[in-house]
Amino acid sequence: MELSIAQKHKEQLLSRTRVSGDMTFESTTPTNDEVRKSIATSAKADEKLVVVKGIYNAFGAKKASFSAYVYDDEASMTAIEPKPKKKAEQVAK
């Protein structure tokens, strides 16, 4: 998978950088975890501070665009990003 970052926009009040760009791949569309790792290496950031918001591609195309946020610290990320919902099994216990 080849990833290129086209735009970076620093959002200082939210302590994050909005990142968007394009990627090409050989087989299936990459997962959020694979894209997160590639963005972290390209942006020289910690992998756990990268949040992938979307991967957008056309059916059958071997290229896609993405949007993500790279946070400055973990405290900012936990304050802004929504917490994942609990599954019904975990709530019932």
For residue 69, what pLDDT is reported?
96
Which of 48, 50, 46, 37 lies closest to 8, judged by CA? 50
> Residue 23: is its pLDDT beyond 70?
yes
What phi, psi does 89 have (nearest 5°)?
A: -65, -40
Q: Helix or strand or coil: residue 33?
A: helix
For residue 91, what pLDDT is reported?
58
Confidence of residue 89 (pLDDT cuts 50, 70, 90): low
Tell me: the pLDDT tens digits for 31-85? 999 999 999 999 899 999 999 999 999 888 899 999 999 999 999 999 999 887 7
Q: Please give the Cα distance from 37 to 43 (Å, whole number).
A: 10
For residue 86, what pLDDT is reported?
76
Tokens 């216990």 belong to which residue? 93
H-assigned helices in the chain: 32-43, 74-80, 88-92
For residue 88, what pLDDT is reported?
65
For residue 14, what pLDDT is reported?
94
Q: Which pTM value belongs to this model?
A: 0.83
What phi, psi does 91 have (nearest 5°)?
A: -70, -35
Superfamily of domain 2-92: RRM (RNA recognition motif) domain (3.30.70.330)
